[in-house]
Structures are given as structure tokens and as C-alpha cells.
Structure 1
């Protein structure tokens, strides 16, 4: 069902500043960048070796990322787990008592597990594309 860690999501004030730091320090490379107005955020996938980060920058104060940055000052947001079938993974996790959040009918094939049932860790389930 789960194939491994897809990426680690990190909320940052500025993708460009953080990417510059990661590039100079660790040789990071930006793989993609996308604006997600429905979520009020910009996301950048950054690769270091065979690992990936998602850098998330708010587009304004009202989205989840903006509120996270304001309340916590940025940092680790979520751990994304790769799965073959998002619908089956969500059903399995709901059967185990998890509340599934954040599924978007027109967006990326991802869902989140409420952190209350996972020891305070926000997990994202991401379908392999």
C-alpha cells in the first residue's frame, strides 16, 4: 500500500531565499514550482540526492500555510507518504480510525490524515503519478 516517503513539507517565508541556502549548502536543485491559488500557496519541489522537500510559501495570510507561518514561524509541516491508490489508502486509514482531510476533486491526488490520531504528525498521502 505505502511505498515510502515521497517528500517532507516545509513552510518557509521565501522559497527563493530558502532554495538559495539549500543550493549553496547542500547542492539542492528545484524540480518544479507551482502556484496553488485555491490553497493560497506556492509550492516548490526541491531535490537533494534521492530525497525531496516541498517548500511552501504563503500567497497571503489566510491559507493554511500563511496561518502556519504566522503561528509557528515556519518549519516542518508534513511528511508525504507515497501510495499506488489514494482511494484505497484513504479507505484503509479511515478503517483504522483516522480522519482524512484535504482531498481536492480537481487538484493533486493527495489527502491528509488528521494529526490528532497520528501522535501530532501531519501525514500526507500522495498517489504515485
Structure 2
């Protein structure tokens, strides 16, 4: 297992570099409200799958379980107050002086935030 850990970065770095993604794991992704978030999220998922492929099976299973546990512990999926707040904000949102594009983007961002909480 120690050999897998020490060789992992050596094996993975050329692959990421060849794909033009070597610096991606070191960068923080954009805010979920940012219009570029969906593109970044797709790229991040692809890169994470490449990294999982380079790991020993026991390490990747442990990491995935740990990640799931963290997500569950810090998830806002059951934050009823926040869901209510977003729903009220959506209902109160009016176009007013905003352009059609600005208004649509604002609503899409609110819906995306609501989707983050797993509300349908």
C-alpha cells in the first residue's frame, strides 16, 4: 500500500498534465451561484474519476466513504428554514427594471440553490 501512495502522484501527474488539468486539483471551484459552476463541476467530476482510477482500491473505497460521511454530516439537505427562505425569495422575485436575461439568470440561480437542498 505504501508503494501505491508514493507512486500515485508520479503516475497521475503526467495524465493530468496531458489533459491540461494539472493545476485543477489545487484550485478552488467557483461559487455555486456563478454561471461557470456547472462547467467546472463537470470537469471536476471527470478529474476526480481519473484520480480514483490511480488509487489502490482500498484507499479509494475509504476516501469515498469518508467523503460521503462528510457530505452527510455537513449537508444542508434538511435545512428547512433555508429552503423556505429560498422559496419565499423565488416567489417574491419580480422582473422590475431587470432585463429578461438578468431576471432569468436570477431565477435560475435561485432554483439551482434550491436544487442543492434536494427539494423538488
TM-score range, shorter chain: under 0.3
Higher-Rg structure is 2
TM-score normalised to the size of structure 2? 0.24
Structure with the larger helix share: 2
- Using the size of structure 1 for normalisation, the TM-score is 0.23
